[in-house]
Structure 1
Amino acid sequence: MPVALVTGGSAGLGRALSHALADNGWTVIVDGRDPDRLAAAADRPGILAVPGDITDTEHRLRLVAAVRLHGHLDLLVHNASTLGPVSGSTPLPALAHVTVDDLQHVWRHNIGAPLVLTTQLLDDLVAGEGILVGISSDAAVEHYPGWGLYGASKAGLDHVVLTFGAENPAITAYAVDPGDMRTQMHADAFPDEDISDRPEPESVVPHLLALLATRPASGRYRAADVPVPAAV
């Protein structure tokens, strides 16, 4: 039975992907900061919830221990992330208003924790010739006012994930831009807008599953560009 670790699995794309993997016979380890929401998301066979903050050292050790209980790791998905400073109707400030504390907070969640956790589980991924995925954003390559800090962190995550792939040929590494989705994070980013026209995270999952199944070369991919096989 394949084993996956999906960070930020309590809501949004992380939850949708974890459910789909479990439905396809995977054992899925998920984490999240809100224990109640995580427990609700993990309330189905095949999903193991490990509540906690990905930036916490002890929590990462618990995630590693959960993986080692199963003896192997086939997929590591860095989905957990933070937008950064949120304030009233202007959640994403211009770079001129970003503080050092803001920078450290976003970097620890969006780059530092994924880098350290990958390092801790690298031997497991290499041994199983597994797949490493970083959930990216179009803000990593485009330049939107207010999105500079978040976008820079996602560009950094792309670089970290793909460099792990370049340094470890036994694994395959993907930076994946899922596109706009109807999630709480997007609602927080646009507090004065109706985002009901955005697609649900579940609509992205078939593209992610197709990417995992076809396993093209390591690289950066837009989920929408990954073809989904026609149903039989």
Structure 2
Amino acid sequence: MQSDRISDMATPSSRDLGRALCIVTGASKGYGRSLALQIAHLLLPRSVLLLVARSADMLQALQVDLVPIVEQAGLLVRCVPTDLGLKAGIDTTVRVAKESAAADTDHVLLINNAASLGDVSRFAISFCDPAEVDAYLSLNVSSALSLTAGVLQAFPQRPGLRRTVVNISSLCALEPFPSWVLYCAGKAARNMMFRVLAKEEPDVRVLNYSPGPMDTDMQAQAQSCSADPALKQSFSIMHSQGKLLSCHESGAKLIRLLLEDEFPSGVHLDYYDL
């Protein structure tokens, strides 16, 4: 079984993410969970790892798995079980972040990972109810913008503070996938939102990172539910031939990007570009 510790080849052992407040949304499973476990090894003492997701039970299970790392590194882990599609969820997350961060925090790192695939069993012409579309966009687009805005307001620019915002993107932000109209539209909107942020806030490091096709519950949903037969077959073949990435593999490349910190702010980078 592959370890969640990053190999020495992936990141230099002498580097770290600082005394950070690191917020990971969608942290209860899959990619967000793996990122939390990997990032915890790279935080300095008195750093805070803030884990946000809708499932309280799964967040608690992750917190238990983090105990050995936390005790060794001197970290604080806070879990926020909430729905980021609601304003109350955004407000709660920002409030807990402000309450938890150490006075000498030198890096605020927000990873916008929370997302859903949406109904991929239908084609675009079937989405006649704007309320259904709005509900999808609320979680997948509006919440990412509102949470990012809230965090950046709560931790304004000051000497000695780095601020980094990561949008977990997708090839679907750039290319149309038949029967994935909601997901493609949401990912494209998020990419542009964060590109605008990079232009408006030059002191904030902004990255749109596409993690590649990973072996997750979302990928299983894509294989079983996609209405487009060619797309469905393509994902099934990737799975059967072992061509799906592990969350650890993709996460290691993202963390290497954050440690090196050399990317142009606002850029879209794909796992396979690196």
The 2-side partners of 1:143 and 1:57 are apart by 30
By relative contact order (CA 8 Å, sep 6+), the higher-ranking structure is 2
Q: Distance in 2 between matches of 1:102 and 1:83?
A: 14
For the pair 1:224 / 2:245, whether they are aligned, the reply is: no
Which deviates further from its counterpart, 41-50 or 175-184? 41-50
Q: How does 1:1-232 map to 2 (within 5 A)?
A: 1-25=19-43, 26-43=47-64, 44=66, 45=70, 46=75, 47-69=77-99, 70-71=101-102, 72=105, 74-85=108-119, 91-98=120-127, 99-123=129-153, 124=155, 126-127=157-158, 128-191=161-224, 193=236, 195=239, 197=242, 198-215=244-261, 216-218=263-265, 219-226=267-274
Higher deviation after alignment, 74-83 or 116-125? 116-125
- Contact kept in structure 1, 2:27 and 2:53, CA below 8 Å: yes
Greater radius of gyration (CA): 2
- Whether the aligned pair in 2 keeps the contact of 1:6 and 1:76 (CA below 8 Å) is yes
Distance (whole Å) between structure 2 residues aligned to residue 141 and residue 101 of structure 1: 25
1:117-161 superposed Cα distances (whole Å, 9 cap, x missing partner)? 111111316342311111011111111111122101100001111
User: What amino acid is the match of 1:217?
Assistant: P
Q: 1:145 to 1:53 in 2, by over 3 A?
A: same
Aligned-pair CA distance for 1:27: 2.5
In structure 2, relative to structure 1, the CA distance for the partners of 1:180 and 1:126 (3 Å cut) is: farther
3-state SS in 2 of match to 1:80: coil
Report percent identity of matched pairs. Answer: 25
- CA RMSD between the two structures: 1.7
Question: Per-residue CA shift, 1:181-206, capped at 9, x if unaligned?
Answer: 00111111212747362121111111
Whole-angstrom CA distance in 1 between matches of 2:157 and 2:272: 28
Which whole-Å CA distance do the structure 1 matches of 2:59 and 2:79 have between them? Answer: 7
Q: What is the Cα deviation at residue 40 of structure 1?
A: 0.8
Q: 1:136 to 1:92 in 2, by over 3 A?
A: farther
Runs (5+) with no aligned partner, structure 2: 1-18, 226-235
Task: Compute the TM-score of the two structures, normalised by the length of structure 2.
Answer: 0.76
Q: Given the two structures, how large is their TM-score scaled by the length of structure 1?
A: 0.89
Q: Which 5+ residue runs of structure 1 have no aligned equivalent?
A: 86-90, 227-232
Q: Give the paired residue count.
A: 221
Letter in 2 for 1:94: F
Between 1:7-16 and 1:186-195, the stretch displaced more is 186-195
